[in-house]
């Protein structure tokens, strides 16, 4: 049995703990259990980095972190200009089959060793090394799209990339490849490289608590202008309402993917605001013309360009954006981001009567039950938060007599389906674009069989444009060819164009920060 | 006893083998996962190359045999998402989930059992009605709703507790660093309260209902009446004669409850950004990260099977009539 004194002590201890736990919680601006630190920026994303290996990155949240850890030869400005970064210049060879880069002098790795042309060449060689079995963006897309053949060191600060043929978007592609330092990476296993990055950029990794936070601190050896923050913390907060609460409470400075229902909540707070921007991600409904769908009424109908044209008039895109995404948006006119679209093609207006007339004329009148034909639209549940948009599109089509069954599928089911070109006959999709070149945007459809042509569209009037593009290096001629291709795409293309995905970020009133249209989070160096 | 243990362990191994086969087949039922691990702009050749790199180009039987061979050597493969060995990825997050589960179970036991006993000895009275009303409320309230309400009211409105995140407690302890663990304790508790209470509320309600019904059954037994007629105090009758005999179903339930809580914290871990293994498995399933899912499921099943074994052994301690192995 406890004595009376012991009982009193126990009671006091319990009371002390209760009071200390229930006192007004001082929301730290930095991390759990630490005091606020000046010049620290905290960014909350929905997922953690999967790997910090510079050659193996492939998700946007990971790249947002990796771009602060690793430099690139060139980089893309918020307005889509390609700017020299670790390199100071480049020169194409006469035949276009090689590009020589001159690096800036005085570059250093995190360990204080000089970063030279040997390191830059090694970054390409390492990403391309089949023995390392990388599956990231560099190996899976950038190097093949570049036509990479090899890298040659020409001097301490000079190296040459060898490519299969002249590639007009090479510098933009190279802006996605992170430069790493040879000496430390040669010593590391692949597993070590995934978790122990050796920085070549403005920050270095200070702490990584998986699924919780990544803390970056200034890389003292980085010689170029760097963002003003001493520390940048990336917190992992998967739930949108929790991210919004943390922002309003002042615990984080920037949050990504603000859901439409949180926009007013954040804007009505005294502490934060929502910054929205039309991204370069094109949201569309694809018409899959694969033979397997031709046996269904809907699959057969959408093979007819007149039907595809009619459906373009059926969807009220601005109203959908306003009502469902709580963000104004302009309907996409072509598959190219507005800043690179010089065609002057206007977006399709919302005109359901015209859509009905066109369908009548195409030979698809309403039946006794009011239905012209039935069709299935497959979509990935919650893709970019657009589930309500998917359902609304289905309803708009049903309203003009195209009875649409919207099937919402989990990513693990939908992604393999669409990558094998088996989603459809209608499918809802978003595809990333670029601010720096219209060619990147139209390269979704490089051939009828290309990986990203999920529609199996094969109109020669469009695809012959690629042969013409291959035959010229004159920018004006290229513009004219692209313009013709976009007109064909607009008139009888395989996409029901919707909008450029509006991205909404929550931003603390403590900071000035503007989002970019290419989904990247970058920090200004002013 | 030893015979019983051997029999139970061999049964457990069979269960774990079955779990591994079912998980493996279930994860492959949705088609080829390669597409989840290639750039959206990858060509067919790049997709084929990636499939070979990930080992999905081999027949299913070969893939399973490879997995089983690795399992024998303690190698559950490399996580496709994290590009590091899968088992350490799971084990690294396990302490976070254990912390949350222990906290929730402690609250459920320390509050649920007394409430159940109180309700039973006040059967039919307003106190009993109040406790049962609360229990019904606790069991019918979805934990994602309760979690968000706590964030909005206690975290954002009152600012009493942090909204999300975690300060590690068990991790330093498992690393043998008791000083750090003790230093972290006052910081860690505020982070534990909201997610812990969100999980505990359901278990607490279930525990109190079970204890109440178990107690009511025991309180009507002859030996309780005999104890009272011997002039024992009501407290002694309840604690020594009634509650002791009412413990058996509660212990059974608590063993299962621990396993249930371990596997069922996904939603709460997501809402409160708790870096535990539930959230990890959820993401791994979405990304069809097969080695990671297998590592996590195997870890969970070993813990679950172990807990059940422990409960069975506890039976013998609690009830001398039970003879294990006979």
Query: Which of B34, B37, B159 is facing A27, going by the closest CB pair?
Result: B159
B317 by Cβ neighbours in 10 Å (0-12 / 13-18 / 19+) ranks as exposed
Work out the minimum CA distance from A250 to partner chain B, whole angstroms.
10
Q: Of A1-15, A49-63, A343-357, B239-253, which one has max mean pLDDT? A: A343-357
Contact A24 B159 (CB under 8 A): yes
Write out residues 217-246 of B within 8 Å (CB-CB) of A. none
pLDDT in tens, B242-275: 888 888 778 778 777 887 777 668 889 999 999 9
Q: Confidence class of residue A365 from pLDDT cuts 50, 70 and 90? A: very high
Higher pLDDT, A427 or A25: A427
Predicted confidence at residue B325, as pLDDT, reads 54
Q: How far apart are CA B255 and CA B314, in angstroms?
A: 10
What string of H, E and C letters represents the secondary structure of A279-326?
EEEEEEEEECCCHHHCCCHHHHHCCCHHHHHHHHCCCCHHHHHHHHHC
Higher pLDDT, B240 or A154: A154
Contact A191 B44 (CB under 8 A): no
Q: Is the pLDDT of residue B49 over 90?
A: no
Contact B156 A20 (CB under 8 A): no
3-state helix, strand and coil shares in percent for chain A, rounded to the nearest 5: 35, 20, 40
Q: Confidence class of residue B168 from pLDDT cuts 50, 70 and 90? A: very high
Work out the minimum CA distance from B221 to partner chain A, whole angstroms.
31
Contact B191 A32 (CB under 8 A): yes
> Would an 8 Å CB–CB cutoff place B81 in contact with chain A?
yes
Contact B151 A27 (CB under 8 A): no
> Would an 8 Å CB–CB cutoff place B31 in contact with chain A?
yes
Contact A141 B41 (CB under 8 A): yes
What is the number of CB-based contacts under 8 A between chain A and chain B?
A: 168
Predicted confidence at residue B324, as pLDDT, reads 57
**Helices B290-318 + B2-29 axis angle, to 10:** 150
Q: Is the pLDDT of residue A35 over 70?
A: no
Contact B84 A249 (CB under 8 A): no
Predicted confidence at residue A193, as pLDDT, reads 96
Q: Which chain B residues contact residue A66 at CB under 8 A?
A: none
Question: Which among B109, B108, B110, B128 is positioned nearest to B118, based on CA atoms?
Answer: B128
Query: Which of B83, B151, B165 is facing A191, going by the closest CB pair?
Result: B83
Over residues B121-146, the mean pLDDT reads: 91
Q: Which chain B residue shows the shortest CA-CA distance from A236?
A: B273
Chosen from B42, B100, B144 to mutate, greatest number of chain A CBs within 10 A: B42
Write out residues 254-283 of B within 8 Å (CB-CB) of A. 270-273, 275-276, 279-280, 283
Percent of chain A residues past pLDDT 90, beyond the cut: 83
What is the length of chain A? 526
Q: Which chain B residue shows the shortest CA-CA distance from A413?
A: B30
Contact B43 A410 (CB under 8 A): no
Percent of chain B residues past pLDDT 90, beyond the cut: 37
> Would an 8 Å CB–CB cutoff place B38 in contact with chain A?
yes
Work out the minimum CA distance from A179 to partner chain B, whole angstroms.
20
Omega before A425 cis (within 30°)? Answer: yes
pLDDT in tens, A436-446: 999 999 999 99
Residue A129, classed as helix, strand or coil, is coil
Higher pLDDT, B197 or B308: B197
pLDDT in tens, A472-496: 999 999 999 999 999 999 999 999 9
Work out the minimum CA distance from B293 to partner chain A, whole angstroms.
14
Contact A140 B33 (CB under 8 A): no
Over residues A120-125, the mean pLDDT reads: 98
Predicted confidence at residue B288, as pLDDT, reads 80
Query: Which range (A19-23, A395-399, B93-97) has the least confidence?
Result: A19-23
Predicted confidence at residue A320, as pLDDT, reads 95
Predicted confidence at residue A31, as pLDDT, reads 35
B319: β partners: none
Q: How far apart are CA B256 and CA B207, in angstroms?
A: 12
Query: Which of A47, A246, A412 is facing B164, going by the closest CB pair?
Result: A246
Contact B44 A451 (CB under 8 A): yes
Higher pLDDT, A114 or B16: A114
Query: Which of A23, A53, A237 is facing B273, going by the closest CB pair?
Result: A237
Contact B163 A235 (CB under 8 A): no
Q: Which chain A residue shows the shortest CA-CA distance from B34?
A: A416
ipTM: 0.82
Higher pLDDT, A239 or B324: A239
Over residues A365-394, the mean pLDDT reads: 93
Query: Which range (A509-518, B134-143, B153-162) has the least confidence?
Result: B134-143
The full set of domains in chain B, from first to last, is 96-284 (1.10.3720.10)
**Helices B178-219 + B243-263 axis angle, to 10:** 130
Write out residues 150-189 of B within 8 Å (CB-CB) of A. 151-152, 155-156, 158-168, 184, 186-189
Q: How far apart are CA B314 and CA B310, in angstroms?
A: 6
pLDDT in tens, A219-239: 999 999 999 999 999 999 999
Q: How far apart are CA B197 and CA B104, in angstroms?
A: 6
Alpha-carbon distances, residue B232 vs B123, B216, B239, B244 (angstroms): 21, 19, 11, 16
Predicted confidence at residue B315, as pLDDT, reads 73
Contact A135 B82 (CB under 8 A): no
Question: Over chain A, what is the mean pLDDT?
Answer: 91
Q: Which chain B residue shows the shortest CA-CA distance from A139?
A: B46
Q: Which chain B residues contact residue A284 at CB under 8 A?
A: none
Higher pLDDT, A218 or A524: A218
Backbone angles phi, psi at B236, to 5 degrees: -70, -40
pLDDT in tens, A336-360: 999 999 999 999 999 999 999 999 9
Q: Confidence class of residue B60 from pLDDT cuts 50, 70 and 90? A: confident
A426: part of which helix (H) or strand (E)? strand A426-431
Buried b (16+ CB within 10 A) or exposed e, B291-312: bbbbbbbbbbbebbbebbbebb
Work out the minimum CA distance from A25 to partner chain B, whole angstroms.
5
Q: Which chain A residues contact residue B156 at CB under 8 A?
A: 245, 248-249
Higher pLDDT, A10 or B289: B289
Work out the minimum CA distance from A110 to partner chain B, whole angstroms.
23
Predicted confidence at residue A22, as pLDDT, reads 45
Q: Which chain A residues contact residue B30 at CB under 8 A?
A: 412-413, 416
Q: Confidence class of residue A21 from pLDDT cuts 50, 70 and 90? A: very low
Contact B43 A56 (CB under 8 A): no
Q: Which chain B residue shows the shortest CA-CA distance from A441?
A: B41
Contact B148 A420 (CB under 8 A): no
Contact B156 A249 (CB under 8 A): yes
Question: Over chain B, what is the mean pLDDT?
Answer: 86
Alpha-carbon distances, residue B289 vs A57, A191, B76, B85 (angstroms): 16, 16, 12, 12
Predicted confidence at residue B43, as pLDDT, reads 74
Predicted confidence at residue B61, as pLDDT, reads 87
Work out the minimum CA distance from B48 to partner chain A, whole angstroms.
11
Contact B30 A249 (CB under 8 A): no
| Count of C-beta atoms within a 10 Å radius of residue B103 | 21
Cβ–Cβ < 8 Å for A165, A173: no
Number of H helices, E strands in chain A: 19, 16
pTM: 0.86
Residue A512, classed as helix, strand or coil, is coil
Q: How far apart are CA B156 and CA B162, in angstroms?
A: 8
Q: Which chain B residues contact residue A249 at CB under 8 A?
A: 155-156, 159, 163
Task: Give me the sign of the Cα torsion angle A505, B289, A427, A403.
Answer: negative
Over residues B278-301, the mean pLDDT reads: 86
| Count of C-beta atoms within a 10 Å radius of residue A1 | 4
């Amino acid at each position: 049995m406890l004595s009376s004194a012991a009982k009193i002590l126990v009671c006091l201890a319990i009371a002390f703990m209760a009071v200390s736990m229930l006192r007004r919680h001082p929301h730290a601006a930095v991390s759990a259990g630490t005091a606020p630190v000046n010049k620290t920026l905290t960014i909350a994303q929905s997922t953690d980095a999967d790997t910090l290996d510079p050659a193996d990155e492939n998700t946007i949240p990971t790249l947002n972190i990796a771009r602060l850890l690793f430099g690139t030869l060139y980089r893309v400005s918020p307005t889509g200009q390609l700017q020299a970064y670790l390199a100071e210049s480049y020169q194409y060879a006469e035949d276009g089959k090689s590009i020589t880069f001159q690096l800036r002098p005085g570059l250093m790795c995190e360990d204080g060793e000089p970063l030279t042309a040997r390191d830059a060449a090694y970054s390409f060689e390492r990403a391309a090394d089949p023995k390392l079995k990388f599956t990231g963006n560099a190996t899976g897309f950038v190097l093949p799209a570049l036509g990479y053949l090899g890298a040659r060191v020409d001097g301490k600060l000079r190296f040459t990339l060898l490519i299969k043929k002249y590639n007009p978007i090479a510098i933009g592609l190279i802006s996605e490849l992170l430069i790493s330092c040879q000496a430390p990476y040669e010593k590391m296993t692949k597993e070590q490289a995934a978790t122990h990055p050796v920085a070549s950029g403005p920050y270095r990794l200070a702490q990584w608590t998986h699924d919780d936070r990544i803390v970056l601190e200034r890389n003292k050896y980085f010689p170029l202008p760097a963002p003003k923050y001493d520390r940048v913390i990336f917190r992992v907060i998967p739930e949108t309402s929790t991210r919004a609460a943390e922002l309003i409470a002042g615990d984080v400075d920037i949050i990504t993917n603000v859901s439409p229902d949180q926009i007013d909540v954040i804007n009505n707070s005294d502490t934060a605001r929502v910054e929205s921007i039309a991204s370069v991600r094109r949201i569309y409904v694809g018409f899959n013309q694969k033979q397997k769908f031709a046996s269904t009424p809907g699959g057969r109908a959408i093979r007819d360009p007149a039907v595809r044209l009619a459906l373009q008039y059926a969807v009220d895109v601005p109203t959908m954006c306003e009502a469902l995404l709580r963000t104004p948006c302009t309907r996409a006119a072509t598959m190219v981001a507005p800043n690179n679209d010089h065609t002057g093609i206007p977006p399709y207006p919302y005109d359901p009567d015209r859509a009905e007339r066109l369908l009548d004329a195409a030979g698809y009148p309403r039946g006794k039950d009011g239905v012209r034909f039935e069709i299935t639209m497959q979509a990935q549940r919650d893709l970019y938060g657009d589930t309500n948009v998917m359902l609304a599109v289905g309803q708009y089509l049903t309203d003009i007599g195209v009875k649409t069954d919207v099937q919402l599928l989990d990513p693990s089911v939908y992604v393999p389906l669409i990558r094998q070109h088996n989603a459809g006959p209608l499918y809802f999709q978003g595809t990333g674009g670029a601010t720096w070149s219209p060619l990147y945007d139209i390269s979704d459809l490089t051939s009828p069989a290309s990986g990203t042509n999920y529609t199996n569209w094969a109109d020669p009037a469009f695809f012959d444009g690629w042969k013409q593009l291959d035959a010229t290096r004159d920018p004006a001629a290229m513009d004219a060819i692209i313009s013709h291709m976009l007109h064909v795409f607009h008139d009888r293309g395989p996409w029901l164009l919707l909008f450029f995905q509006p991205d909404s970020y929550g931003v603390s009133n403590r900071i000035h920060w503007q989002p970019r249209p290419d989904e990247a989070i970058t920090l200004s160096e002013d | 006893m030893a015979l019983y243990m051997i029999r139970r362990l061999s049964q457990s191994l069979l269960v774990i083998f079955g779990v591994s086969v079912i998980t493996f087949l279930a994860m492959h039922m949705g088609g080829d996962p390669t597409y989840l691990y290639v750039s959206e702009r990858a060509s067919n050749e790049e997709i084929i190359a990636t499939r070979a790199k990930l080992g999905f180009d081999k027949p299913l039987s070969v893939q399973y045999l490879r997995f089983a061979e690795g399992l024998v050597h303690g190698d559950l493969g490399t996580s496709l998402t994290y590009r590091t060995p899968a088992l350490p990825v799971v084990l690294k997050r396990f302490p976070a989930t254990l912390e949350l589960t222990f906290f929730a179970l402690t609250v459920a036991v320390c509050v649920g059992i007394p409430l159940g006993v109180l309700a039973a000895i006040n059967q039919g009275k307003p106190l009993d009605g109040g406790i049962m009303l609360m229990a019904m409320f606790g069991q019918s309230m979805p934990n994602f709703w309760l979690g968000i309400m706590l964030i909005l009211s206690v975290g954002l409105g009152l600012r009493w507790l942090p909204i999300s995140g975690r300060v590690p407690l068990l991790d330093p302890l498992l690393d043998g660093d008791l000083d750090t663990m003790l230093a972290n304790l006052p910081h860690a508790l505020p982070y534990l309260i909201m997610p812990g209470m969100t999980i505990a509320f359901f278990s607490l309600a279930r525990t109190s209902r079970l204890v109440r019904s178990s107690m009511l059954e025991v309180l009507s037994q002859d030996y309780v009446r005999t104890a009272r007629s011997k002039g024992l105090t009501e407290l002694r009758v309840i604690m020594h004669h009634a509650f002791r005999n009412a413990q058996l179903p509660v212990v059974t339930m608590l063993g299962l409850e621990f396993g249930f809580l371990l596997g069922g914290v996904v939603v709460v871990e997501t809402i409160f950004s708790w870096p535990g293994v539930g959230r990890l498995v959820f993401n791994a399933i979405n990304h069809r990260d097969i080695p990671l899912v297998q590592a996590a499921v195997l870890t969970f099943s070993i813990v679950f099977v172990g807990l059940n074994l422990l409960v069975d052994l506890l039976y013998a301690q609690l009830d001398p009539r039970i003879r294990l192995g006979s």
